[in-house]
Every structure is written in C-alpha cells, then in structure tokens.
C-alpha cells in the first residue's frame, strides 16, 4: 500500500501527516517505509534528530523516481511518500507510484486549491490508472470556524472526495516535529493522536475497499 501526501502548496501539513501516519501504521505492527520526496528534506532532517525511528526513512527526490519507489516499497507493507511543495515531475512520479493520494488543504477562504495543478495531475493520472484513489484532508483547521465548514462544499465542487477526518491546528503537532518525535511519543492519548488514528484508518479503508472491489470483479 503506497500513500502519498501531496500538494504543490507549501506548509499545508504534508510532512506532519506523513510522519505521523507512518508512525501510526508502525504502531499497528506494520513494516513501514517513509520516502522523503522533497528536496528540502524535512522528513529526513526529522529522522536525523533521533537515534532510530519506528519506520525506515529514505530520501528520494528526483523525477522518474516511481519505479525505484515501487521497488523499495516491495519490502514493506506500507509506504508513505512525503511530497514536495511544487507540482513538477517529482510530484507526478509520487502520484504514479501511489495507491492513494492524500491532498492536505488548509481551510482558507481565499484558497484556489480546487483548481490547483496537483488536483489536475491526480485527475490526469486517474485516466490511465483508474484504481488510483485520492482525497482532500482538511489540515490545520482552526476550531469550528465558518471557513472550516465551507471547505466541504468547495471540495464537493472540485469533484474530488474529501475525507471525514479533519486535522486541527494543534501546537503539539508543531512541537513534536521540531523535537524529532512522533505525535504518539510527544502527546500520547491526546486529541491529536486520535485525529491521526482516525485519518490513518480512513485512508486504509479507502485503499482496502478498492483491493476488495478488484478481487470481486
Ligand atoms: N495540524 C497542525 N497544527 C499545528 N501546526 C502544524 C500542523 N500541521 C503542520 N503544522 C506546522 O506547520 C508547518 C508546516 O507543516 P509541514 O512541514 O508539515 O507542511 P508541508 O506541507 O510539509 O510544508 P512544505 O511544503 O514546506 O514541505 C510546520 O512548522 C508544522 O509544524
Ligand atoms: Mg514538507
């Protein structure tokens, strides 16, 4: 199972979600690989702050990396790809390698994410890979603001699914990353860990539904 966190926009939570979803899967006993596909190397830097991580982290930020990513992923039950903050060849490779593309979006009223290149790239990829699944993830949501609620109708207009689980703006997410920890280590049994558990399960369910669907077909 290969899951990418992708959005050409910077700072929407790709790395935060990649690390913590990888940690969540590792806690469930899975063999997990995190591919850092961003030249800024945030996930690799995070890993370098620790002696060891509950999952393997490798840096692979180059165009046409899909084949190598698939080869590496064969040794793991789950692979997470932390995407770059631009929609270039690397992002396209991440999509090609994925079973599920999660697009973190910030609930900003001025956001133009629905027509962004990343969304178009995913749609294009779905034309030749119909089994590819995707979904927006509302990330860094501030409380129950009106903007937070409006984003669901905007996503519906964009024609891509939006996941049920929202990730709120929580200082624990920022602190844990800075300290080289996962949210499960930094703030166990918090609302933040519950959000990550829920998001991980939701994504797994989406991917598995498809596997079951194609097995029945
Ligand atoms: N849910 C959240 N609550 C609080 N802070 C968050 C949350 N998600 C991300 N952040 C913080 O926002 C900043 C950007 O997050 P992150 O690095 O995960 O985004 P990104 O999409 O990977 O960025 P880039 O495009 O630069 O790779 C970081 O400082 C991170 O700690
Ligand atoms: Mg990042």
Q: Using CA atoms, how far apart are residues 41 and 47, in angstroms rounded to an integer? A: 10
Ion ligand 2: residues, Cβ under 5 Å: 14-15, 42
Distance 19 CA to ligand 1 centre (A): 11
In the beta sheet, which residues pair with residue 168?
141
Residue-range definition of the domain harbouring residue 9:
2-216
Which of 10, 11, 94, 181 should be mutated for ligand 1, with most atoms under 8 A from CB? 11
Q: Using CA atoms, how far apart are residues 7 and 22, in angstroms rounded to an integer? A: 18
Query: Which residue puts its alpha carbon closest to atom 6 of ligand 1?
Result: 174
Ligand closest to 85 (CA) is 1
- pLDDT in the model for residue 151: 75
Counting the structural domains of the chain, the total is 1
Query: Which residue puts its alpha carbon closest to atom 5 of ligand 1?
Result: 174
Q: Using CA atoms, how far apart are residues 165 and 188, in angstroms rounded to an integer? A: 19
- pLDDT in the model for residue 87: 75
Check which CATH number belongs to the domain holding 27 and give it.
Answer: 3.40.50.300
Q: Is the CB of 141 under 6 A from ligand 1?
A: no
Q: pTM for the whole thing?
A: 0.94
Closest atom of ligand 1 to CA, residue 170: 3
Q: Using CA atoms, how far apart are residues 83 and 59, in angstroms rounded to an integer? A: 11
Q: Is the CB of 78 under 6 A from ligand 1?
A: no
- Taking only the tens of pLDDT, the chain with its 217 residues reads 999 999 998 999 999 999 999 999 999 999 999 999 999 999 999 999 999 999 999 999 999 899 999 999 999 999 999 999 987 899 999 999 999 999 998 876 556 666 678 888 999 999 999 999 999 999 999 877 666 667 777 777 777 889 999 999 999 999 999 999 999 999 999 999 999 999 999 999 999 885 555 444 4
- pLDDT in the model for residue 217: 46
- pLDDT in the model for residue 196: 98
- pLDDT in the model for residue 114: 60
Q: In what order do the strands lie in the sheet with 78-82?
A: 56-59, 32-36, 78-82, 2-5, 100-105, 133-138
- pLDDT in the model for residue 107: 79
Query: Which residue puts its alpha carbon closest to atom 9 of ligand 1?
Result: 13
């Amino acid at each position: 199972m290969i899951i990418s966190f992708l959005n050409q926009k910077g700072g929407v939570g790709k790395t935060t979600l990649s690390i913590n979803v990888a940690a969540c899967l590792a806690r469930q006993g899975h063999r997990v690989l995190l591919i850092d596909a961003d030249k800024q190397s945030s996930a690799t830097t995070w890993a370098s702050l620790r002696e060891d991580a509950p999952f393997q982290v490798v840096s692979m930020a180059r165009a046409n990396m899909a084949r190598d990513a698939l080869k590496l992923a064969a040794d793991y039950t789950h692979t997470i790809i932390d995407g770059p903050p631009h929609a270039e060849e690397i992002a396209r490779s991440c999509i090609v390698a994925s079973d599920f593309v999660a697009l973190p979006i910030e609930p900003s009223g001025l956001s133009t994410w629905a027509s962004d290149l990343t969304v178009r790239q995913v749609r294009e990829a779905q034309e030749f890979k119909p089994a590819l699944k995707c979904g927006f993830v509302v990330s860094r949501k501030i409380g129950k603001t009106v903007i937070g609620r409006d984003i669901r109708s905007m996503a519906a207009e964009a024609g891509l699914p939006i996941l049920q689980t929202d990730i709120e703006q929580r200082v624990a997410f920022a602190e844990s990353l800075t300290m080289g920890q996962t949210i499960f280590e930094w703030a166990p049994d918090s609302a933040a860990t519950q959000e990550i558990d829920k998001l991980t399960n939701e994504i797994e369910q989406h991917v598995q539904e498809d596997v079951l669907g194609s097995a029945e077909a």
